């Protein structure tokens, strides 16, 4: 399933995420596979104190996929419902994100996003439409281009009423370890691309995004605009997201978000063709240069199950086809193209239908 990336982690109602992450199955800002997000509360800085801005409450279906997010804004000293976001799937792939606005007596369609994937399961397009006069009208289309399994270009187009017009593009750069380092947004001015903003990514020792510096182009150079800072708890869950703006001399508080979590309940599935009980482990862990992943599935159609390895950004690294209900696979630290990956935290996930389970491992070189 393709879902919101770490950009969504940073603040679901404040930042519009543009990358979709196959690992973040239940839209949780956490790298701890035992927890899922319950909700968040967002506050804005007035210059002298913090005031409530919005809050969100997450709901899940029986398979721990996010089903609905209810958003409330702080209005006249009380929380008031403003939006309901529904998530619809085709099998394990996210098919539609539907936003419904509260009109005082009920919810009505507001806008939605539709997702398209290629044969490898990579998200290639997102189509955003607005609800106008009882029908869906095109608004924005986002197209993703890949290079060696990584997104390198994001193209944004706007609907003019009769055709799509390219408005901007985002160019992403990675270091020698295939870690995202910068994302530069450029606007199309006539026939030329003009710099607009640049995001630079920093990571902590666990490979989590710890800071994102956003700079704007002033015509000759990049100038500070805003700064995102991630604070993680002892369980490696994102506990606070801080946004600061540049006043010309220093960083000042702008918006902050606090997240709450719960342990993921064990799903009980009566369908014998889905995973109801299984074993998953790897040894050694940490490892260098290879590790053996052992699995045991108590299902009939085990050939429908798959084992996939992801990095901390949720990018698919390696896929394994399972040929037996019980067995093992050896991962030698390479991706689907045979290229060696860098040291760091990786996740191995087993999935069949909507039943998934993931564990963490550490590659040391």
Indicate whether 314 pLDDT > 90.
no
CB 82 within 8 A of CB 108: no
Q: Give the domain-ending residue among 233, 263, 293.
A: 263
Angle (nearest 5°) at CA 164 between 315 and 126 = 25
Q: Residue 35's pLDDT band (boundaries 50, 70, 90)? A: confident
Question: Which residues, other chains included, contact 266 with Cβ-Cβ below 8 Å and sequence gap of 6+?
Answer: none
Among 66-80, 215-229, 251-265, which is the least confidently predicted range?
251-265
Task: Please report whether residue 97 resides in a domain.
Answer: yes
Say which CATH number the domain at 294 has: 2.60.40.4070
Tens digits of residue pLDDT in 141-182: 999 999 988 899 999 999 998 899 999 999 999 998 888 999
Q: Are residues 114 and 213 in the same domain?
A: yes
Tens digits of residue pLDDT in 318-353: 888 887 888 899 999 998 888 888 888 888 888 776
Q: Are residues 101 and 198 in the same domain?
A: yes
Q: Are residues 311 and 167 in the same domain?
A: no
Task: Please report whether residue 223 resides in a domain.
Answer: yes
Q: Are residues 282 and 245 in the same domain?
A: no
CB 152 within 8 A of CB 172: yes
Q: Count up the domains in the chain and report the number.
A: 2
Among 54-63, 70-79, 258-267, which is the least confidently predicted range?
258-267
Which range of residues forms the domain containing residue 350? 278-363
Q: Are residues 61 and 201 in the same domain?
A: yes
Residue 333 zone, left/alpha/beta (φ > 0; ψ -120 to 50; rest): left
10 Å CB burial of residue 340 (0-12, 13-18, 19+) is exposed
CA distance 348 to 353: 16
Task: Please report whether residue 10 resides in a domain.
Answer: yes
CA distance 182 to 151: 12
CA distance 102 to 55: 15
pTM tops 0.75: no
Q: Please report the pLDDT score of residue 344 as a whole number.
A: 82
Q: Give the domain-ending residue among 263, 293, 318.
A: 263
CA distance 156 to 170: 8
């Amino acid at each position: 399933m393709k879902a919101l990336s770490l950009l969504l982690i940073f603040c679901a109602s404040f930042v519009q995420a543009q990358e979709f992450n196959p690992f973040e199955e239940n839209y949780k800002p956490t790298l701890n596979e035992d927890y899922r997000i319950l909700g968040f509360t967002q506050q804005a800085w007035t210059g002298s104190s913090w005031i409530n801005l919005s809050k969100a409450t997450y709901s899940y279906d029986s398979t721990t996929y996010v089903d609905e997010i209810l958003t409330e804004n702080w209005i006249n000293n009380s929380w008031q419902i403003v939006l309901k976001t529904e998530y619809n799937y085709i099998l394990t792939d996210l098919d539609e994100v539907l936003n419904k606005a509260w009109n005082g007596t009920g919810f009505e369609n507001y806008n939605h996003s539709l997702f398209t994937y290629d044969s490898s399961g990579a998200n290639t397009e997102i189509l955003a439409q607005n609800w106008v006069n009882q029908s869906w009208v095109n608004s924005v289309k986002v197209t993703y281009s890949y290079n060696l399994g990584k997104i390198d270009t994001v193209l944004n187009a706007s609907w003019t009423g009769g055709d799509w017009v390219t408005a901007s593009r985002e160019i992403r750069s990675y270091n020698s370890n295939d870690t995202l380092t910068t994302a530069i947004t450029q606007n199309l001015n006539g026939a030329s691309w003009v710099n607009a903003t640049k995001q630079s990514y920093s990571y902590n020792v666990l490979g989590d995004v710890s800071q994102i510096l956003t700079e704007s182009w002033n015509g000759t150079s990049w100038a500070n605009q805003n700064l995102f800072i991630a604070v993680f708890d002892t369980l490696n869950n994102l506990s606070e997201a801080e946004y600061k703006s540049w006043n010309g001399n220093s960083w000042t508080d702008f918006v902050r978000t606090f997240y709450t979590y719960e342990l993921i309940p064990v799903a009980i599935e009566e369908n014998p063709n889905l995973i109801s009980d299984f074993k998953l482990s790897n040894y050694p862990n940490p490892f260098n240069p290879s590790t053996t992943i052992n699995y045991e599935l108590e299902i009939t159609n085990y050939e429908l199950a798959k084992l996939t390895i992801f990095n901390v950004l949720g990018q698919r690294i390696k896929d394994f086809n399972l040929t037996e209900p019980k067995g093992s696979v050896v991962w030698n630290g390479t991706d689907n193209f045979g290229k060696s990956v860098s040291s760091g935290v990786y996740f191995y996930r087993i999935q069949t239908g909507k039943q998934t389970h993931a564990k963490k491992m550490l590659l040391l070189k």
